[in-house]
Amino acid sequence: MGYEIIWQEKVLKDLEGIDRKDAAGIMERVKTHLVQNPAGLGRPLKGIFKGLFRYRYGDYRVIYAIDMADKKIIVLHVKHRKEAYR
């Protein structure tokens, strides 16, 4: 069984500022691919972002945390790659 996805409220605002096609693609990929293997598909981040993961969708980055015990993915940010790590 896959992981449950929790979208932070600010992520929904991030998605509103993105082209509709890209926003729909990001949501679809997270719902179909990331829920099956969140640690294997995403890359772990370093530095101040240690403990978080990123998933790449074109020029956009999905920043998320994984709760292995409760089998949840908490999506924290969806940003353009130039803004994702600021």
**Could you give the domains of the chain?**
4-80 (3.30.2310.20)
Sign (positive/negative) of CA torsion 37, 3, 20, 52?
A: negative
Three-state DSSP class for residue 75? strand
Q: Which tens digit of pLDDT belongs to each residue from 6-59?
A: 999 999 999 999 999 999 999 999 999 899 889 888 999 999 999 999 999 999
Answer whether residue 1 shows pLDDT above 70. no
Q: Which tens digit of pLDDT belongs to each residue from 56-77?
A: 999 999 999 999 999 999 999 9
